[in-house]
Amino acid sequence: MGLIYQNYSLDHLNTFHLSARASYFALIRQPAEMEQLAREDLFREQPKLILGGGSNLLLTGNFNGLVIRSGIQGLECVDETDESVWIRVGSGMEWDELVAWAVAHDWGGLENLSAIPGDVGAAPVQNIGAYGAEAKDMIERVEGFDFNSKTWKTFEAGECEFDYRNSIFKKKFKNEFLVSQVTFRLSKAPHSLLTHYGNLEEELQKTGTRSLAEMRRIITDIRRLKLPDIHTTGNAGSFFKNPVVSLVQADQLRDAYPNMPAYPAGDRQVKLSAAWLIDQSGLKGYTMGRAATHTQQPLVLINTGGATGEEIWKLAEYIREFVFDRYGVMLEPEVNVY
């Protein structure tokens, strides 16, 4: 099959800027190419890794197997009412390009998810979220190719098992389901903007307008100030998830650390701030070899230049052990580690 590359460099496909190779690599631009790939012997024989833009990925070495990336494009309006519009998008489109397009059409819902790196296909897998919004709130259905049955399947939103940075595609179907298209339901004006997070409302009021475009601009500006630029500093955004602990453990911690941020997270569960735990452990800006935590956002691990994936992982393990010894809370990576 002409689409398969051997000994393929993944250097440009991970935002940590790590050097790594895949034994085999296939870019799927049309659904028919996926069916063709699935008929190949190596598809059956090789371990598989589905990759988007690699912005939520840590490669600790070469990938000995087949990496599959969707390059499926396409953007169509499939339904419309007075209040909403439904758009079906190819998984290979860049996420932020989609957000910009929706905002330009004055279709609301995605604006708080502005400036998140990566492809559309990863959005339902990760259930990406930021500034009080989550992709699941706009996703209507997810289509794709099931590697086991070798058939195309459609998951309605209710079947996707969306959770905090999680979904059925990251659990049961991990690396076994290539998302080909995602359908989003977007709102028409008048919009109800989500401004409860941080100082969004205050910033919006300063502008004197309440448009999707202003929301996108404010969020993009805040992110640019707070997060390292992936083009100059290798990173994968938040490295760890915010841990969820029992109410009992949270109360014990709150007694010892009254200033600790804590948020209700369902049935007798409490969500803590991973950034706060790392910061309070004195690990903000901490450097280990060529890996470090970011000086402004300790939840972001960075490649200070020429680091290996193993070096980044060593720092991550050090942080996990340090935080666990101090707070009894084990941080789990948000980033996919291979």
Ligand X SMILES: Cc1cc2nc3c(=O)[nH]c(=O)nc-3n(C[C@H](O)[C@H](O)[C@H](O)COP(=O)(O)OP(=O)(O)OC[C@H]3O[C@@H](n4cnc5c(N)ncnc54)[C@H](O)[C@@H]3O)c2cc1C
Q: Which stretch binds ligand X (CB under 6 A): 73-81, 174-182, 196-204, 259-267?
A: 174-182
Q: What is the size of the binding site for ligand X (CB under 6 A)?
A: 35
Q: Site residues for ligand X, window 16-35 (CB under 6 A)?
A: none
Burial of 298 (0-12, 13-18, 19+ CB in 10 A): buried
The yes or no reply on residue 178 touching ligand X (CB under 6 A) is yes
Cβ-proximal residues to 290 (8 Å cutoff; 6+ apart), any chain = 303, 304, 305, 306, 307, 308, 311
The yes or no reply on residue 51 touching ligand X (CB under 6 A) is yes
The yes or no reply on residue 66 touching ligand X (CB under 6 A) is no
Element (H, E) at 49: strand 48-51
Q: Which stretch binds ligand X (CB under 6 A): 4-12, 75-83, 112-120, 314-322?
A: 112-120
Q: How far is the CB of 39 from ligand X (least distance, A)?
A: 19
Cβ-proximal residues to 166 (8 Å cutoff; 6+ apart), any chain = 126, 127
Structure tokens at 41: 């012997």
Among 22, 99, 179, 312, binds ligand X (CB under 6 A): 179
CB 135 within 8 A of CB 125: no
Q: Site residues for ligand X, window 213-242 (CB under 6 A)?
A: 227, 230, 235-237
Instruction: Give me the catalytic one of 165, 167, 185, 216.
Output: 165
CB 6 within 8 A of CB 42: no
Q: Site residues for ligand X, window 244-283 (CB under 6 A)?
A: none
CB 184 within 8 A of CB 89: yes
165 counts as catalytic: yes
CA distance 145 to 27: 14
Could you give the C-alpha distances from 136 to 161, 177, 181, 217, 286, in angstroms and in order?
Answer: 10, 18, 15, 22, 34
Q: How far is the CB of 235 from ligand X (least distance, A)?
A: 5
The yes or no reply on residue 67 touching ligand X (CB under 6 A) is no
111 counts as catalytic: no
Q: Which is nearer to ligand X, 113 or 253 (CB)?
A: 113
Q: How far is the CB of 74 from ligand X (least distance, A)?
A: 13
Quickly tell me which residue has 């100082």 as its tokens. Answer: 199
Other beta carbons less than 10 A from residue 29's beta carbon: 15
Among 18, 31, 34, 56, binds ligand X (CB under 6 A): 56
**Cα–chain center distance at 239:** 10
The yes or no reply on residue 54 touching ligand X (CB under 6 A) is yes
CA distance 184 to 180: 14
Q: Which stretch binds ligand X (CB under 6 A): 168-176, 200-208, 289-297, 314-322?
A: 168-176
Q: Which stretch binds ligand X (CB under 6 A): 33-41, 52-60, 96-104, 205-213?
A: 52-60
Q: How far is the CB of 81 from ligand X (least distance, A)?
A: 28
CA distance 295 to 314: 18
Q: How far is the CB of 334 from ligand X (least distance, A)?
A: 7
The yes or no reply on residue 302 touching ligand X (CB under 6 A) is no
The yes or no reply on residue 123 touching ligand X (CB under 6 A) is yes
Q: Which is nearer to ligand X, 52 or 108 (CB)?
A: 52
Whether the bond into 190 is cis, omega within 30 of 0: yes
CA distance 106 to 88: 17
Strands 139-146 and 151-156 come out as antiparallel
The yes or no reply on residue 52 touching ligand X (CB under 6 A) is yes
211 counts as catalytic: no
The catalytic site residues sit at 165, 238, 334
Give me the residues that bind ligand X (CB under 6 A), please. 15, 50-57, 70, 91, 116-119, 121-123, 125-126, 128-130, 169-170, 175, 177-179, 227, 230, 235-237, 336
